[in-house]
Chains A and B, each alone.
Chain A
Amino acid sequence: MIKTDIQRPLAEEVYSEELYALEYADKGNRRPEGWRLSPRAVRNFILGTDKPVKTDCKEVHIKQKYFGNNSMIERAIVTLAGNRGLMLVGEPGTAKTMISELISAAVCGCSSNTVQGTAGTTEDNVKYSWNYAMLLAKGPVREAIIPAPVFIGMEKGIITRFEEITRCPLEVQDILISIMSDKVMNIPEWGSEGMLFAAKGFNIIATANTRDKGVNEMSSALKRRFNFETVEPVKNVSLEKTIIAQQCSELLKSCGIDNEIDMTAAEVLASVFVELRSGISPEKASIPKLSCVMSTAEAVSVYYQSALEAEYYGNGKITMKKLTENLLGAVAKENKDDLPKLREYYGGAVKLRAEKLGGIWQELYDSRSQI
């Protein structure tokens, strides 16, 4: 049952019906020890199925949740079924976290066992710390331990998600080396038997942002414990449009707004983002390269903001003026030098499109004064 009063429910709650159906249909299929679903069912959960999956009482449509490189998802699943961790790297906003959440939800039914890597992350945040009152009262017993996500993952045999691992100091990152190779955590306070052996099903999915490359470069020892998968930005307008439409639909619903997605506006927005990201337009117009990250997540945010503004301050219909205003915010937040480039894009590629197609593109071109 999904709690309706929370902003963002967990993946396993949002897709509980799909997970149940897949688990039901997956009976008898071989699955890695400690996994809730077989690798094929995990893949189907993320990439969707053509036909609905039957359960004891109904048919459930498994929708596609990740749009992009299917082989990468397959490699990620097989990696986790083996003894290596999975490292998802890529530009910001390319759905690394979403993939990590979905895989965790499908593999072990828990996507919340997460360490958020920051410059201030310590060993305690990763492994465990002590409840000092109990430590003093009872000594170093299990009840005195406050388990951190890696401890929990090992104990329960579930996936531990390590977000933005390269933001952590090197010494904190390297804690994982022995845990990942020996699948055991030493707890010296427990004396000679102070070892926590990882239960079947434990593994780590880490994410790292390529823009943070070099901040805390991972040691080669740790790198060897991971298989790296690069999550590429979307290069296709129709795919970007689909993602914008699907994610915004869910976001708006969670806000109680039931408006239909304006697919024309979504397509315009997708075109703008894909072109600014790739530097290529169908008209072969010169497109300046922006230094900011024109991620799909940013495109979703621009549409979402525009839709909210249209709902609360307008007639519910997204205008190109609002879209440009929000796009401006997305571009200017990292580097103000990108604004003239955006203006150049409007004066070039958008103008050509406006002359050729008119309509919404003309409206977008007319909104260039906002920049």
Chain B
Amino acid sequence: MTAFEQCFDMSSDMIIFPVRHHSPACSLQLERAAELYRPDCILIEGPSDADGLISYLCSEGITPPVCIYSSYDDKNKDGKKFRAYYPFLEYSPELTAMRIAVKMNISVHFIDMPFALQTVMFSEESVTDFCRESEDYYRLTAEKSRCRCFSEFWEKGFELTSSADTAEFARSVFMLGEYMRELSSADEKTLTREAYMRKSIAAYKKTHKRIMVVCGAYHAPVLRDKGKSVKFSSYSKTDSALYLMPYSFAETDSRSGYSAGLLFPAYYTEVWNNIKSGDNEPFLSAALNYIVRTSRSVRKTQPVSLPDEKGAFYMAQGLAALRGKSAPGAFELIDGVRSAFVKGPAESGSVELDALLRAMTGTGTGKVDLPENADIKIVPPCVDNFRAECRRHRLNINTVVPQSTVLDIIKNKKHYEKSAFLHRLEFMETGFCTVEKGPDFSSGTNTALVREHWSYRYSAGVDTKLIDLSVFGGTVEAICLALLYEKLGKLHTADKAGALLLKGYMMGLSDKVDLGYSRLSDIIGEDMELTSHYRFLLAINRLLTLQRLGSGQYSENILSLLRLSYNTAVTAFSLIISRDDENDDSAAEALRLMYSLSADHPEECSRELLIAALDEASRQPDISPQLYGVSMALLFKNKSISSEEYRTYFENYLLSANPTAAARFLSGIILTGRDVILTDRRMLISIDSVIRRTDDAAFMEILPHLRQTFTAFTPAETARIASSAAELYGTESSIFEGSLIFSAREIAAAAALDRKSAEMMKEWGIYD
């Protein structure tokens, strides 16, 4: 007896049915084989620890594609997370085998190594060589059969001949696996998995008399062997988890990188459904449907005529006849559309082919709706909550096609809630959504915008991330709060706490911040960096603005935090008054903000406290020029000093200080009290006198500071200053306006003068 005959002996106590994963033809033949053999137990190549999920996989609430998601946190590898997906399509032989068992009321089990055990025993890299060898095998097989790829060979030889005799079909699949095995030696991991499967089969043989094993063709030749015994390691079951979750068609397509997958899962699902509905020409019907669907999609952007559709259908059938195929398959369909629809050079990105290929792959996702009384939790509650929230907010997660939404977060409460939900998912790094355009309160950019433009796209990866985060809570909100507190616990600076607080508000969790209030207070109280408090106060200020625009009421906790940060900032200011860091103007900015806050929130931000600190600072001999300027301007604004005093201090400082210090002082003045410069002409005269007495070298040194300082003025203000300056010198202000335009003649004359100067300088030996 040949190896195949031994494996497929209907009179024996066990048959092995070799399959190609996700092959409709294999599923169809598997049904026939089960009918012929009438097994009392079906064993499937799948993770044995997922046995409990089989009954749910066969339940009515499941709409493929779905997958078993297996995760393992290996404590011996620094808690590294390992994940694996076991996807099932409507026509996957493994799912068909389970459904057969349920229908025949016989036992059914998975027999492969649990994923966790595989990760414990083997590194991820151990399969690389095997993959390369099998790729060569696929390529050579396709070349020999004059097909463009292995998928076409498979479709021609198996999918389109699914009505062949079951034993012959099984033999062909078996031989394919056997040849592959001969050409490419199995790696250690595969051999161990096979040993595990053999061990499982032996165990079930003790309790069953007619066993049907459903496994990949590559493993089929060795599962009857005795094989070498393998010692299996153990793994921590508490660190591994299994869930049933929806999967997408796109992720089961081999083009997406899923090596065990077939091409075009949505197309084959349609073929499978046609077969199941009794269609005698399932491939022909599918081809026609896809041509019509593609033309409908393409018509949105360009014309497709009925004769084009007819041409594509004719082409698909003609090619099938020419290639000796019983019906037009996926490749004839693609060729038909390419030939009849594409009017011009067929570039890889043609609209017609893209539309067809997208439809053939499928943009939909599966569904996992299990009865409320399910005795085990198939998915963590947070995944259910995510889906429920998506439904509530009308976010389409039934497709993997990117979607977008525009939200008016200020005026529309529902939009604000939707935005908060999306911010939560973004904060959780699920990869579900990104904000394309809108206000960013953390960085302070585009804060005038009132709309957020979001793009989002569902993929199985979102569920995976949610499952991974499920340890933090049962809802998206609970997870976010837990993550927020966790982050807060690791923070030590007020600026980062401020950013987190803003994020919390955007996530609609500001009222839940109470729980983190004491931690926030600690952080703020302990941070003595004025710059850090400046950023925190900025964040609080934005938050208060948002609260005013939103509910119109301020949160008590936020106001308390404001008071605490303000007071700490005043103390922090007194510690840095002598520091003059030219690159850091944030201290001056902080004082300006604090002054403004003391006007807006007098109860929380005591003006007296700030003025006392400024007064004290202004008396210090070593105060930095910029902070002195800021202090003087704020004291004058508060009327703590008279205008006469202010001008005297101003003039004296400018006249006595070195030019650089004078420029820094001026920048402090302008930053906080520029209105005085604009209104009091005498201040301008003082500035002018300082500039006039400065020699050229010193002027060049302070020029950058002056330029930077004057950027604080608006164009209108600059024009006013220019006018005053012109008046001072008895000239017209128009000479400062606009650009100076030189004629070509003037430029030529200037260039000639320049050349002449250079020649003279060379002659005198002072220029080389």
Contact = CB atoms under 8 A, between A and B. Distances in A.
Contacts of A139: none
Contacts of B314: 78, 82
Interface stretch (B57-65, B181-189, B305-313, B444-452): B305-313
Contacts of A71: 148, 331, 335
B318 A82 contact: yes
A61 interface: no
Interface in A166-214: 210, 213
Contacts of A70: 146, 148
Interface string B307-339: 110010011001101110000000100010011
Given A210-B345, A223-B343, A228-B346, A39 B322 contact: yes
A289 interface: no
What are the 5 A-B residue pairs with the smallest beta carbon separation, nearest first?
A: A78-B318, A230-B346, A223-B343, A227-B339, A75-B339
Nearest to B335: A75
Contact of A74 (B303, B305, B308, B319): B319
Contacts of A79: 315, 339
Given A78-B315, A82-B318, A230-B346, A224 B307 contact: yes
Interface in B120-157: 146, 148
B371 interface: no
**Dominant secondary structure of chain B at its interface with chain A:** helix
Given A43-B322, A82-B318, A227 B345 contact: no
**Dominant secondary structure of chain A at its interface with chain B:** helix
A180 to B, nearest CB: 11
A265 B629 CA distance: 81
A89 B344 contact: yes
A78 B311 CA distance: 10
Contacts, number: 63
B733 to A, nearest CB: 54
Interface in B222-238: none
Contacts of A280: none
Contacts of B335: 71, 74-75
A40 interface: yes
14 contacts: A39-B322, A43-B322, A70-B148, A74-B335, A78-B318, A82-B311, A213-B345, A220-B303, A220-B343, A227-B311, A227-B315, A227-B340, A228-B345, A229-B346
A216 B339 CA distance: 22
Interface of B: 146, 148, 303, 305, 307-308, 311, 314-315, 318-319, 321-323, 331, 335, 338-340, 342-346
Most chain B beta-carbon neighbours within 10 Å: one of A210, A227, A230: A227
A84 interface: yes
B146 A89 contact: no
A290 interface: no
A229 B343 contact: no
A77 interface: yes
Nearest to A224: B305
Nearest to B311: A84
Contacts of A228: 339, 342-346
A39 B345 contact: no
A90 interface: yes
Contacts of B339: 75, 78-79, 227-229
A81 interface: yes
A82 B315 contact: yes
Contacts of A77: 322
A74 B342 contact: no
A82 B345 CA distance: 21
B146 to A, nearest CB: 7
Contacts of B331: 71
B619 to A, nearest CB: 67
Contacts of B346: 228-230
Given A39-B321, A82-B318, A84-B311, 9 more contacts: A70-B146, A74-B323, A78-B314, A82-B314, A90-B345, A227-B311, A227-B315, A228-B343, A228-B345
A71 B146 CA distance: 10
B308 A224 contact: yes
A79 B316 CA distance: 10
Contact of A39 (B146, B303, B307, B318): B318
Interface in A23-69: 39-40, 43
A78 B339 CA distance: 10
